[in-house]
């Protein structure tokens, strides 16, 4: 399988995405086979799809982290409030 430069691949993808050419016309324009053009385009879409999935997964992980942190700090604040109430009650009891 022949390797093509990234610049060439980008030109092909830009032409394809702007609906300027189909596979056959792109192959003729760039002197490549239809299958090579198709491979470049499909590979780029697979990479985009994978990257989108990974970004979504990372965002889900990040969201779960913040949810866990929120639950921790809510519990911490509740315990602190209870502790402060207990301290106030002890001070009132001692002052009597």
Is residue 35 included in any domain, yes or no? yes
Using a 10 angstrom Cβ sphere, with 0-12 exposed, 13-18 middle and 19 or more buried, the burial of residue 26 is: buried
Is residue 1 included in any domain, yes or no? no
What's the domain count of the chain? 1
Measured CA to CA in angstroms, residue 55 lies from 23, 41, 52, 61 at distances of 30, 21, 5, 10
- What is the average pLDDT value for the chain, to the nearest integer? 83
State the residue range of the domain holding 16: 6-95
**Overall average pLDDT of the 71-86 stretch:** 87
> Is residue 1 scored above 80 in pLDDT?
no
pLDDT tens column, 29-64: 999 999 999 999 898 888 887 777 777 777 777 777
CA nearest to 44, candidates 82, 4, 79, 75: 4
The band of 4, judged by pLDDT with boundaries at 50, 70 and 90, is confident
Is residue 62 included in any domain, yes or no? yes
Please tell me the predicted confidence (pLDDT) of residue 25: 93
């Amino acid at each position: 399988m022949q390797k093509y430069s990234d610049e060439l691949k980008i030109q092909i993808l830009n032409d394809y995405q702007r609906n300027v050419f189909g596979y056959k016309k792109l192959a003729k324009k760039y002197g490549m086979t239809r299958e090579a053009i198709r491979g470049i385009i499909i590979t780029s879409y697979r990479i985009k799809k994978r990257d989108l999935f990974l970004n979504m997964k990372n965002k889900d992980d990040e969201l779960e982290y913040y949810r866990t942190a929120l639950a921790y700090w809510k519990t911490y604040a509740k315990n602190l409030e209870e502790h402060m109430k207990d301290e106030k009650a002890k001070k009132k009891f001692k002052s009597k």
